[in-house]
């Protein structure tokens, strides 16, 4: 279970300002629609959902929103099996830079940058902040001691990885989930309920779900739904830079959601990062 830590009011305030500023966020029922179907059983791991989680997503808007479009171009750049060396081409480096340039133009990222500058955790120049983000998110490292450089923070959190073809690591991003589901790589198995709520709503923008990907089951994973890539990037970067700990858990309230944001560091880089919806029956 997640440790019950006191609510971090300062971060809650910042993240709510970022949430309100997130003009690229997709609105439930308008830009996308989900079908929650049945409640998943984390122990049995049966299938409580015959259909996809995403019933509809406005692909035009994904294509025409710069941060989403540049984000999607990064998703196919990774070899998802850990232990297999990643090869980074000059085109991929250019795509990483395009994505960072796009998110650094947004109000959400600027707000995060201002906050970090105030805390003396980032340099005031955007170009320096960009280098810092590149290092945190895109620098390759070995996921396991002795392996070749086979992973980076971006791949783990946003793309997902598999270990020995059995265990799913990461994959906490709704756009990747939607695209993998569309390509029949993901099978959504149902939702995990919050204790004080019998079932989530179609409009909930944080969900705990169970799914299988490339044949392996992830018994429980929490995802933001509909948020922009810059929102998640900003949120995880702030928590990462505020702490030197190997694992940091911050309890925050964003909108109506009481969350614990978990960020694990791998040296100077992000190892993993994800939200945990508090009051769910079981947490990862």
Q: Which residues are known catalytic residues?
A: 156, 172, 218
Q: Is the dihedral of CA 122, 233, 266, 76 positive or negative?
A: negative
Q: Are 229 and 180 in contact (CB under 8 A)?
A: no
How many whole angstroms separate alpha carbon 226 and alpha carbon 243? Answer: 27
List, in sequence order, every residue forming a beta bridge with 252; answer none if it has no partner.
259
How many whole angstroms separate alpha carbon 122 and alpha carbon 116? Answer: 5
How many whole angstroms separate alpha carbon 35 and alpha carbon 277? Answer: 19
Residue pointed to by tokens 């993240």: 15
Q: Say if residue 262 is exposed, middle or buried (CB neighbours under 10 Å; 0-12, 13-18, 19+).
A: buried
Q: Are 163 and 35 in contact (CB under 8 A)?
A: no
- Residue 234 dihedral angles phi and psi, to the nearest 5°: -65, -50
Taking each helix axis as running N to C, give the angle between helix 229-242 and helix 107-118, from 0 to 180 degrees, rounded to the nearest 10. 10
């Amino acid at each position: 279970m997640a440790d019950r830590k006191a609510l971090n009011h300062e971060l809650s305030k910042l993240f709510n300002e970022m949430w309100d500023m997130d003009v690229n966020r997709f609105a439930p029922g308008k830009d996308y629609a989900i079908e929650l179907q049945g409640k998943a059983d984390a122990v049995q791991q049966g299938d409580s959902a015959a259909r996809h989680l995403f019933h509809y997503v406005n692909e035009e808007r994904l294509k025409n929103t710069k941060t989403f479009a540049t984000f999607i171009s990064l998703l196919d750049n990774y070899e998802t099996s850990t232990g297999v060396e990643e090869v980074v081409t000059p085109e991929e480096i250019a795509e990483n830079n395009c994505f960072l340039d796009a998110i650094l133009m947004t109000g959400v990222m600027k707000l995060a940058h201002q906050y970090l500058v105030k805390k003396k955790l980032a340099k005031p120049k955007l170009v320096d902040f960009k280098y810092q983000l590149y290092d945190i998110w895109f620098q390759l490292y070995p996921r396991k001691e002795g392996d070749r450089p086979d992973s980076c923070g971006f791949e783990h959190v946003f793309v997902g990885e598999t270990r020995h073809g059995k265990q799913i690591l990461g994959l906490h991003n709704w756009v990747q989930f939607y695209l993998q589901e569309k390509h029949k790589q993901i099978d959504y198995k149902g939702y995990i309920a919050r204790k004080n709520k019998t079932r989530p709503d179609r409009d909930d923008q944080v969900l705990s779900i169970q799914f299988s990907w490339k044949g392996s089951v992830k018994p429980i994973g929490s995802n933001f739904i509909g948020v922009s890539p810059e929102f998640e990037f900003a949120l995880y970067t702030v928590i990462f830079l505020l702490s030197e700990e190997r694992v940091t858990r911050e309890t925050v309230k964003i909108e109506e959601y009481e969350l614990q944001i978990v960020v694990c560091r791998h040296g100077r880089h992000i190892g993993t990062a994800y939200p945990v919806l508090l009051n769910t029956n079981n947490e990862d």
